[in-house]
Structure 1
Amino acid sequence: MPLPKEDRYTLADALAWDEQDRIELIDGAPVMMAPPSRAHQEALMELSAQLHAYLRGKKCKVYPAPFAVRLFEREGERPEDVDTLVEPDISVVCDPSKLDDIGCKGAPDLIVEILSPSTTRHDRFTKFNLYQRAGVREYWIVDPVDKSVQAFLLEDGRYSAKDFGAAGDKIRVSVLEDCTIDLSRVFQE
């Protein structure tokens, strides 16, 4: 991988990197991502499975990581000009015009991040603010250690705490009509 090249990296650089390198770009700064834990992957698979089952036959689609999301890319923008690229653990996109061969251009409707020891601060602060600024309608932070979910809903450009769930609870996805996630299946003993 050609790091370090300069102070600012773009989508054009990221597209040239090795596919097994897990790197996000936040305002042109590369952020390396450690491999996820087993608990992280088990939560990811169960959440993705429940969302996929609910969305079968519907317009919205669920995409588990790795899936490139260019939160601020504008129509016709060149890869050399796109400097923010994230790989949320789970993205739900309801507008098919946002999808292309690379991933998603613009804000998904729902993003789920599953905490790992190396990503807790990044997910709770950096990505929280980034997703809020980009207009992601609903953001979930899943903690596999505490076996809990915090759900935030975008209202008037700011996130407000919508729901909190723990192992054994069922939690509603606000941006998907009648969609409920069974956390007892996400946080199995």
Structure 2
Amino acid sequence: MNGGLSLSDKGTNKDKIRESGLTYDDYASIDDGNRYELAGGQLELMSPAPTLTHQMVSSEMYETIVQNCKKDYIILYAPVDVILSETEVRQPDIVLVHRERMQILSNRGIEGAPDLIIEILSPSTLKRDKIDKLKTYADYQVPEYWIVEPETGVLEQYIQIDERLELVNIFHGNEPVSSSNITCISFTMAEIMENIPDLKDRS
């Protein structure tokens, strides 16, 4: 890469890197202190560290899912590379891979579609998670995708149907979160959110 990467100043794509046509090897060779994803051969600079609320919701969900599903699934949290192709590398917040599919795990990361991908929303990633990644995960046959709004405790569940990820349920409060694909899932968003303090921004 020879230090040739520079932020694009075109349009509103401030998080896009000018170079395109890159592969996993290019992506893996970057060591500049930043975190990136590789989308269609183009690097996307990830936003600064998520809010503490985001991180606490992610941690609570991870620990809850581990308690119920560790026997059957490998459960990983960010940063971990999900290598969908040599030109498509994503870093979801939480991923599940069934232990019968451990052949897709390598020292590079997860090389193929996980059984479940979970993204915890941040204001800076809203469009990326709900539009760009939704389409990408559908294209690469991810069977199930959750989008979690950490401030309100709402979980949107998308299932692969006819080569598209369709919104099939929205979980909130005391409604039990369930999945026909991952039967060990057993919790409510109320249980997750009751352990999240109400944090205020300091001026």
Does residue 1:141 correspond to 2:154, yes or no? no
Contact 2:19 2:43 in 1 (8 A): no
- Is the counterpart of residue 16 in structure 1 residue 29 in structure 2? yes
Pair 1:108 & 2:114 matched: yes
Pairing 1:70–2:83 present: yes
The correspondence of residues 149-164 of structure 1 with structure 2, limited to 5 A, is 149-164=155-170
1:83 to 87, 105, 125: 87
Residue 105 (structure 2) pairs with residue 92 (structure 1): no
How many residue pairs match? The answer is 179
Instruction: Choose which of 42, 59, 62 in structure 2 pairs with 1:45.
Output: 59
**CA drift at 1:156:** 2.1
| Structure ranking higher on relative contact order (CA contacts 8 Å, 6+ apart) | 1
Name the CA distance, whole Å, in 2 between partners of 1:143 and 1:22: 22
Which residue in the other structure is 2:171 paired with?
165
SS in 2 for 1:173: coil
Q: Which runs of 5+ in 1 are unaligned?
A: 73-81
CA deviation profile, 1:127-183 (whole Å, cap 9, x unmatched): 000001100111000001232010011122122222111133321133212422321
Percent of residue pairs bearing the same amino acid type:
28
TM-score normalized with structure 1 length: 0.88
Kindly provide the amino acid, as one letter, of the partner of residue 157 in structure 2: A
Shift of 1:21: 1.8
CA distance in 2, matches of 1:111, 1:19: 27
Distance 1:18 1:162, change over 3 A: same
Q: Which residue in 2 is equivalent to 1:121? A: 127
SS at match of 1:154: strand
Contact 2:116 2:143 in 1 (8 A): yes
Residue 77 of structure 1: aligned partner: none
- 1:91-143: per-residue Cα shift (whole Å, max 9, x none)? 11111010000111110010001100100000000000000110011100000
Determine if the alignment matches structure 1 residue 55 to structure 2 residue 66.
no
Q: Letter of the 2:89 partner, please give it.
A: L
The Cα shift of 1:20 comes to 4.3
Q: Distance in 1 between matches of 2:127 and 2:169?
A: 20
TM-score computed with the length of structure 2 as normaliser:
0.82
Equivalent AA in structure 2 for residue 92 of structure 1:
L
Q: Partner amino acid for 1:6?
A: E
The DSSP-based 3-state class of the residue aligned with 1:36 is coil
Over 3 Å counting, the alpha-carbon distance change for 1:19 and 1:52 in structure 2 is farther
Question: What one-letter code is carried by the residue in structure 2 that aligns with 1:40?
Answer: H
Contact 1:66 1:89 in 2 (8 A): yes
